[in-house]
Amino acid sequence: MENKKVWFITGASKGLGLALVKQLLQAGHQVAATSRNSINLVDAVNFNGDTFLPLSVALGNDENVAAAIQQTHQTFGRIDVVVNNAGYGIGGSIEELTDEETRDSFEVNVFGTINVIRHVLPILRQQGAGHIINISSIAGIAPATGWSVYGATKHAVIGLSEVLAEDVKSLGINVTVIAPGAFRTNFLQADSLVLSEKKIDAYADIRASHERYSNMNGHQAGDPEKAAKVMIELSEMSEPPLYLLLGSDAYSRAFSKLELLASSYKQWEALTKSTDY
């Protein structure tokens, strides 16, 4: 294969990450993939060959992440594409979620991404090339009722990606932040979703929102196999986009948010400008 690349993918034992790993290996790429449990990862990928490097990584552990990046580089000689895919959903009002639940979600969804980027950048800088793909969510643009902390983590991923892209563009490194809508994965199942154990009766709208999302499971519009193909296509572009929505639902929600922002900013223009000298 002429355009063979080395990929480093987090959260690869299920969902979009698993679909991507399988397609890449089938196409002849070299893939280092991480999961909290490498045995489960190996079983899920079901591939025998030296182009696959399964890694057990706790993304919140900086030293653990550094070792995984180093092992990947030593094994394959370079790293071309990094996909920060690991993450999970967390639902509940801010007062229902504990400090530990909230911090744990930021540990994986935000700081895990930052840890990977911190340790892979020296390699990409030395190469003068590379592509970092950060998986956010449409919830990072237009979050729904009952998902405040999840929306905050995914909004953080968008913000850090925007500035990262500016910081590294002169180094030959591309950055893309992807905001998927609902895809037919196990994201809404118990192993990928945390709901607050504490329930406060006053938050009836939050309970209704969670029930709607629960009923959606298995009927999401997005096809993870097609999403994986898009990510591979991105890696082949000489000038990939910084922002990419995935799914018609994500597209619709994003443009509704754009209209809301434009309307709100315009409505309060006079008050906004009243603070100038």
Residue 150 annotated among the catalytic residues of the structure: yes
Strands 89-91 and 81-84: unpaired
Q: Which amino acid is at 218?
A: G
CA–CA separation, 29 and 161 (whole Å): 25
Q: Of the listed 105, 154, 196, 203, which one is catalytic?
A: 154
Residue 208: which residues within 8 A CB-CB, separation 6 or more? Answer: none
Residue 136 annotated among the catalytic residues of the structure: yes
Residue 199 annotated among the catalytic residues of the structure: no
The three-state (H, E, C) secondary structure of the chain, written as one string = CCCCCEEEECCCCCHHHHHHHHHHHHCCCEEEEEECCHHHHHHHHCCCCCCEEEEECCCCCHHHHHHHHHHHHHHHCCCCEEEECCCCEEEECCCCCCHHHHHHHHHHHHHHHHHHHHHHHHHHHHHCCEEEEEECCHHHCCCCCCEHHHHHHHHHHHHHHHHHHHHHHHHCEEEEEEEECCECCCCCCHHHEEECCCCCCCCHHHHHHHHHHHHHCCCCCECHHHHHHHHHHHHCCCCCCCEEEECHHHHHHHHHHHHHHHHHHHHCHHHHHCCCC
Q: Of the listed 13, 150, 161, 235, which one is catalytic?
A: 150
Q: Are the CB atoms for 109 and 88 separated by under 8 Å?
A: yes
Q: Are the CB atoms for 24 and 7 separated by under 8 Å?
A: yes
* Active site (catalytic) residues: 136, 150, 154
